[in-house]
Amino acid sequence: TGNHWGYGKEDGPTLWHRNYPVAEGSRQSPIDIIPLQAVHDHSLGPIILSYDHCTSINIANNGHSVVVEFDDSDDRSVIRGGPLDNPYRLKQFHFHWGGKGCHGSEHTVEGMSYASELHLVHWNAVKYKNFGEAATAPDGLAVLGIFLEAGDDHRWLHVITDALYMVKYKGSLTDFKGFNPKCLLPSSLQYWTYLGSLTTPPLHESVTWIILKESITVSEKQLGKFRMLLFTGEEEDQRMRMENNFRPPQPLKGRKVRSSN
Ligand SMILES: CCCSc1c(F)c(F)c(S(=O)(=O)NC)c(F)c1F
Ligand SMILES: [Zn+2]
SS3 of the chain: CCCCCCCCCCCCCCCHHHCCHHHHCCCCCCCEECHHHCEECCCCCCEEEECCCCCEEEEEECCCCEEEEECCCCCCCEEEECCCCCCEEEEEEEEEECCCCCCCCCCEECCECCCEEEEEEEECCCCCCCHHHHCCCCCCEEEEEEEEEECCCCCCCHHHHCCHHHHCCCCCEEECCCCCHHHHCCCCCCEEEEEECCCCCCCCCCEEEEEECCCEEECHHHHHHHCCCECCCCCCCCCCECCCCCCCCCCCCCCCCEECC
Looking from the CA of residue 64, the nearest atom of ligand 1 is: 9
Percent of the chain whose pLDDT exceeds 90: 96
How many angstroms is it from 119 CA to the middle of ligand 2? 5
| 64 catalytic per annotation | yes
pLDDT in tens, 37-57: 999 999 999 999 999 887 999
What residue ranges line ligand 1, CB within 6 angstroms? Answer: 65, 67, 92, 94, 119, 121, 135, 141, 143, 198-200
Q: Report the complex ipTM.
A: 0.95
Q: Residue 102's pLDDT is what?
A: 76
Ligand 1 centroid distance, CA of 193 (Å):
17
Q: Where does the pLDDT of residue 261 fall: very low under 50, low under 70, confident under 90, or very high at 90 and above? A: confident
Of 40, 42, 64, 158, the active-site residue reads: 64
Give the nearest ligand 1 atom to 94 CA: 9
Q: Which residues surround ligand 2, an ion (CB under 5 A)?
A: 119
If one counts every other C-beta atom within 10 angstroms of the C-beta of residue 42, the result is: 7
Q: Which ligand is nearest to the CA of 63?
A: 1
CA–CA gap between residue 251 and residue 229 (Å, rounded): 31
- 126-135 pLDDT, tens digit per residue, is 999 999 999 9
In this prediction, residues 24-39 reach a mean pLDDT of 98
Give the tens place of pLDDT for each residue, 160-192: 999 999 999 999 999 999 999 999 999 999 999
d(CA 81, CA 176): 28
The stretch 70-91 carries a mean pLDDT of 97
pLDDT classification of 1: cutoffs 50, 70, 90 = low
Distance 127 CA to ligand 2 centre (A): 23
Nearest ligand 1 atom to the CA of 131 is 1
Virtual torsion, Cα 216, 222, 224, 230, nearest 10 deg? -100
Cα–ligand 1 centroid distance for 138 (angstroms): 15
Ligand 1 atom 9, closest CA: 200
Q: How far apart are CA 235 and CA 251, in angstroms?
A: 39
